[in-house]
Structure 1
Amino acid sequence: MSSAGARTSADEVLAKAAEISGVDLRGAEAIRDGSHAIYRLADDVVARIGRLGSIDDARRELRISQWLNDSGIPTVEAETSLTQPVIVAGRPVTWWRLIPDHRPSTPGELGSMLRALHALSQPTEFELPAYDPFAGLRERIDTAGMLDQDDRTWLLQHYTRLRGQYGNLPNIISPCVIHGDAWQGNLVVPPSGIPTVLDLDKMSIGRREWDLTQLGVDYTDFSRVPLDDYRAFVVSYGGYDVTEWPGFRVLADIQELRWVAFAVAQSIGNGNAAAQAKHRIACLRGQVLRPWRWEAL
């Protein structure tokens, strides 16, 4: 990308957006710098900077937040005193209320939220997109400079295999609202004790099993979730165990390929991410036995 937006850093985008909105940047703290850049600001405001060209996505996230809160599912709230979104160099900046001193949800809390979310009727005020688990995957593999030809060829073949297997899954009988990135860190619990949903950018219409797969994989392939905690997740969701669903392995393999592609994308100028990407690829290729140990990036 050679556009102005691509050349403008997140710090520069934030500075211009703050100037437009009259936001105080003194003491601003970067929380995350990934596909979205997130900053903690004064007065318990959080700035979220989207990807280049993701203006429609940012507008939808604002509507999703209001809709979920109105529907009885506590969700991160937009800062209503500020104009939303602000567009700087083709990147949307949205302002949110800080959720203080929170912890990740337990598996049981996550299961309860997903049960409520999946039971919602689809919104009528706006349209949610159909979820595509392969979005951006091939491009990340094709353009990754850190991959040698052998790994790139294998990953592309694996991608093609999974697309075929996914296409052969039974049709979705009852598509529902899904979070799209449902893990314990995206449902947090502040001192009030009320679990609150974060990261709305992948909220879509799709298979409920996709939302259940991340914790299922943490249990089956990584042993990050003890048996009792996984049982609590299943019970709180209503007794449905996704690991016993015949299509689970297909969704699990797609999710793990997405996690590999993320590490690959983070590898530019980051030696730790590059080493982690190599390790993850070796795991997928069967060179490392389960349970796997992958470091967070």
Structure 2
Amino acid sequence: MAVMNSNDALTEHEAWLVLKAACRHGGLASDGAELVRIGSNAVYRLREQPVIVRISRDGALEDVRRQVNVARWLVGEGYPATRALDLEQPIVVRGRAVTFWESASERTDYASLEQVGRLLRWLHRLTSPKDLALPEKCPFDDDIGDRLAYLEGLPAADAGYLRERLADVQLRYAALDFVLTPGVIHGDANIGNVILDRAGEPVLIDLDGFCTGPREWDLVQTALFYERFGWHTAGEYRQFVDAYGFDIMDWPGYPVLADYREIAMTLWLCGKAQWDQEAAAEVTKRVSSMRDGGDRRDWEPF
């Protein structure tokens, strides 16, 4: 497996250097590009062309290439997902994979939860071709394994608590009885990954986590955001459930997946906390609330 390596953190400065070089390679103009967000990827919107540029952190080049292949498969299915530009990609710049995508809109407007539920129901009816070679969902290896190194930057007591909590969730996960038919999943489905295009229609974005596995994984974040964080109202969540046709909160395994997601979200933030003071403060708050059973409604989205 081809693996990219970079000695520099994916800061805004580093991302900008990569963006400029990548755009020169692709024959695109980077002047005035807008940084949409920086997290697992740095995402830019170009000013002079309707193009989104995604810059990865370190990782396997095949994983990034798979995202492009997934997008092209979904186009063939008539499914409304982000579209990769018709050029040879990804390209590697400064040890990072860069991909280019059609911009669905000049603004970032998120879909309603009803639209998210309908898109997920449609996605879960699809069967991917064998040559797409989607990986199987392995939450305690692929999703968490690389993030455990971030614990080294935490106080020992906080790091130890998160390790113990994760071990407990792993034991509970092994005993789960999933009830939905497994198959293709987005892997990180939530309202932040469904935007509205110029015509006001929902489009699925961020195809990094596409894989096969229990469909419950694509439902848990919306339930978690409603039930524990208060980011959705009861009415919005009911629209999501009605559109999809299943309420994961009625399934006994929901608390296990919700606990896992809390830990995964916090571990991801630990990586960002290495160079972002606001993220570091948020990590401290989250660990404290998990340890003490406190309210999660003051957790800030990152």
TM-score, length-scaled by structure 2: 0.90
- The answer to whether structure 1 residue 39 and structure 2 residue 44 are counterparts is yes
Matched, 1:89 2:94: yes
- Could you tell me which of 188, 197, 206 is aligned with 2:195? 188
Structure 1 residues 136 and 172, CA, compared in 2 at 3 Å: closer, same or farther? same
Residues 281 and 242 (structure 1), Cα distance of their counterparts in 2 relative to 1, 3 Å cut: same
Contact 1:58 1:201 in 2 (8 A): yes
Q: Which residues of structure 2 form unaligned runs of 5+?
A: none
* SS of structure 2 residue aligned to 1:282: helix
Q: Report how far residue 170 of structure 1 moved.
A: 2.2
Where does residue 200 of structure 1 map in the other structure? Answer: 207
Is the 2:194–2:202 contact (alpha carbons within 8 Å) kept by the matching residues of 1?
A: yes
Question: 5+ residue gaps in structure 1?
Answer: none
Match in the other structure for 1:148: 155
Q: CA deviation at 1:242?
A: 0.2
Of residues 160, 168, 178, the one that matches 1:161 is: 168
Which of residues 113, 124, 135 is equivalent to 1:107?
113
What is the deviation of 1:131?
A: 1.4
Aligned residue for 2:100, secondary structure, equals: strand
Is the deviation greater in 229-238 or in 146-155?
146-155
Aligned counterpart, 1:69: 75
In structure 2, C-alpha distance between the alignment counterparts of 1:54 and 1:74, rounded to whole Å: 26
1:242 maps onto 2:248 in alignment: yes
1 CA distance for matches of 2:180 and 2:8? Answer: 45
Q: Provide the TM-score with structure 1 as the length reference.
A: 0.92
Pick from 277, 280, 297: which aligns with 1:292? 297
How far off is 1:286 after superposition?
Answer: 2.5
Distance 2:35 2:108 in 1: 17
Task: State the superposition RMSD in angstroms.
Answer: 2.0
Q: CA deviation at 1:7?
A: 3.1
1:53/1:90 contact within 8 Å kept: no
- CA distance in structure 1 between the partners assigned to 2:227 and 2:5 by the alignment: 44
Q: What is the CA distance between 1:5 and its match in structure 2?
A: 2.2
Instruction: Please give the secondary structure, in 1, of the residue aligned with 2:84.
Output: coil
Out of 97, 105, 127, the position equivalent to 2:133 is 127
User: Who is 2:21 aligned against?
Assistant: 16
Deviation at 1:265, TM superposition (A): 1.4
User: Would the alpha carbon gap of residues 21 and 191 (structure 1) be closer, same or farther in structure 2, given more than 3 Å must change?
Assistant: closer
Shift of 1:280: 0.7
- What secondary structure, in the 3-state scheme, does the structure 2 residue paired with 1:285 have? helix
CA-to-aligned-CA distance 1:88-145 (integer Å, 9 cap, x gap): 2332111111121341111111110110011111323311111122335354344434
Q: Residue 88 of structure 2: SS of its match in structure 1? A: coil
- Aligned AA (1:7): D
CA separation in 2, counterparts of 1:12 and 1:224?
35
The equivalent of 2:238 in structure 1 is 231
SS of the aligned residue for 2:32 comes to coil
Give the share of equivalent positions with the same residue, in percent: 34
Matched, 1:52 2:53: no
